[in-house]
Amino acid sequence: MTALVLALIVGALFALGTFLLLRRDLIRVVWGLAIISQAANVYLLAMGGIAAGTFDSVPVLAGHDAGAPETADPVVQALVLTAIVIGFGMTAFALVLSYRVYEEHDTLDVSELGDHEG
């Protein structure tokens, strides 16, 4: 994929996540947070490649110069994999917390929850 396509995808994901984050429904807020988290992961993966001409800094690729294959930095991949797992746990916890709020207050509307007493 070209850099322009990746930039548009990341921008669209951030825009969609922000749009959902600003909604009044608590479930949409949770999904907005999850989408923003995944947009950050896509951004990190897209930017985590090894730049041309820096192959000697990677021990496995040293000495290959122009014949080195295009690879991605494994540290970035490990970071993103960890972020995906943490994001999944955060989303699951937020959905369960939203369900508990619904059981207690019979609404998921954030503005009604702010006005609720007791």
Q: How far apart are the C-alpha atoms of 7 and 26, rounded to whole Å?
A: 28
**Residue 30 domain-assigned (yes or no):** no
For the chain, the domain total comes to 1
Give the pLDDT of residue 114.
78
Note the pLDDT tens digit of each residue in 67-82: 555 666 788 889 999 9
Share of the chain above pLDDT 90, in %: 57
- 69: phi > 0 → left, psi -120 to 50 → alpha, else beta; which? beta
pLDDT digit string (tens) for 18-57? 999 999 999 999 999 999 999 999 998 888 765 555 555 5
From its phi and psi, is residue 51 left (phi > 0), alpha (psi between -120 and 50) or beta? Answer: beta
pTM given for the model? 0.78
Domain assignment of residue 106, yes or no: yes
Q: Assign 52 to helix, strand or coil.
A: coil
Domain that holds residue 92: 73-111
Mean pLDDT, to the nearest integer, of 71-100?
A: 91
